[in-house]
Amino acid sequence: MIITPRFSFQSSRPGRVTLLLCSLCSFLFAQPDGITAPKPDPSLQPPMAGPQGNVFKTLNQVEPRVEVNAVNTPGDNASVYEISQPGSYYLTGNVQGAPGKNGITISSSGVKLDLNGYSVFAEGGDTNTGIRIVDAGRVVVENGFIFGWGGDGISSINDSHVTVKHVSSIGNDGDGFSVKGEVDSCYASLNGEENVTPDTGAGIVCVGIIRNSVSEKNVGNGFRIISGLIESSKARNNSNRGISANSAQVIRCHTVDNIGSGIQTSGTCLVEKCFSANNSIGQGVAGPISAGIDILGSDGVHHTIVRNNHVQGNQVGIRAEADCCTVVGNTVMRNSPDLNAVDANFGIGTGNLVGNIIKINSSSPAINFSTGGGISGANALSNFTD
């Protein structure tokens, strides 16, 4: 038996089906009264084939900069070039000094000077400065070299505030750097040959902050930090102290092979997590006694804290001439004024707080000056010595 479908797609009235489909299409695509179809926006069309114009900004559009030259930054009787307007400046070549003139003087606030890897140098016989900042704030100098000046490599005068980054200052007769502000990731070497005050001069002198810098082989101190912070920096082979700190913090620094003390403090200071070794070796017993960490005398008000340092191989390990100091948690070993013939690990004056000193394999006195006020018993603040 053959079963036929109940419904059939065949129609005896094809004209009627066609009319129904046309009516449906008209309904679906009809526009409401008063509304017309939008026209294409030409700006949204894909670009035409062919070469395209530059769609990137120029460097001047991103950061407008001015080249340092005789037209843009003319000098005067005191300087080869002078920057007297705020803005961003850069070098396109080395700057050589002229007799009786500074290299570059910055006399405006709000200046950024990119040395661009070039040098500002003199060829000796001149007492002027490589880069001199006068009465200016918010000044940045970065990325280059300064050498051979008869004065300082770079200096800020009066209340000028400057940030110096990634700059090397070498072979200047004054200080390598003498600034108020911040010195970051800089290098100073062979400075200070003609410094009339080697006790206060240094490779880097800063009222403010010094970070991640190296100072070596300078006549005078490696660093001199005043009313600020020095951290993660290294001083080595300098003719005086590695670091001279006045009312400052000295944190995570290395001082090695300096002729004077590794770290010397005055005023209220913190010396923490530093490594000081082999300083003042060669002075001998008859020479001036220096120390890995040397705390100068105070008025009984200023309080210096020396903690968690490693001090080794110096004439004296930790010496506190001052009172009102705290010395805790240090490792002090093999310090001697005559190359380890006599131990001189601690020299602590009276009126100081000293963590318990735990001696390892040594029978010599732990404290060679008048014993300060100690903390009795084993505790986490103990100092260790051999």
- Cα 365 to Cα 344: distance, rounded to the nearest angstrom: 8
Using CA atoms in the order 313, 316, 317, 320, what is the torsion angle rounded to 10 degrees?
-160
**What three-state secondary structure class fits 233?**
coil
367-382: b (≥16 Cβ within 10 Å) or e: bbbebbebbeeeeebb
Each residue of 288-329: pLDDT tens digit? 678 999 998 655 566 899 999 999 999 889 988 777 788 999
- Cα 39 to Cα 82: distance, rounded to the nearest angstrom: 60
Which residues are CB-neighbours of 184 under 8 A, at least 6 positions away?
Answer: 163, 164, 165, 166, 209, 210, 211, 212, 213
pLDDT for the residue numbered 11: 52
- Cα 366 to Cα 306: distance, rounded to the nearest angstrom: 17
The DSSP-derived string for 285-342 is TTS---EEEEE----SS--EEEES-EEESSSEEEEE-SSSEEEES-EEES--TTTTSS
Alpha carbon 192 to its chain centroid, in Å, reads: 22
The token pair at 284 is: 């001998």
- Cα 384 to Cα 346: distance, rounded to the nearest angstrom: 11
Of 298, 372, 384, whose CA–CA distance to 334 is shortest?
A: 384
- Cα 15 to Cα 9: distance, rounded to the nearest angstrom: 14
Each residue of 237-272: pLDDT tens digit? 999 999 999 999 999 999 999 999 999 999 899 999
Looking at the predicted structure, is the pLDDT value of residue 369 above 60?
no
- Cα 104 to Cα 91: distance, rounded to the nearest angstrom: 11
Highest mean pLDDT among 5-9, 159-163, 322-326: 159-163
- Delimit the domains of the chain by residue range: 243-386
Of 384 and 91, the one with more pLDDT? 91
* Helix ranges, the chain (H): 14-28, 59-62
User: Residue 87: exposed, middle, or buried by beta-carbon count in 10 A (0-12, 13-18, 19+)?
Assistant: middle
Say if residues 173 and 148 touch (Cβ distance below 8 Å): no
User: Residue 140: exposed, middle, or buried by beta-carbon count in 10 A (0-12, 13-18, 19+)?
Assistant: middle
255-294: b (≥16 Cβ within 10 Å) or e: bbbbbbbbbbbbbbbbbbebbbbbbbbebeeeeebbbbbb
pLDDT for the residue numbered 280: 80
Each residue of 101-138: pLDDT tens digit? 999 999 999 999 999 999 999 976 567 999 999 999 99
- Cα 191 to Cα 174: distance, rounded to the nearest angstrom: 6
What average pLDDT does the segment 70-91 reach?
A: 95
**What three-state secondary structure class fits 20?**
helix
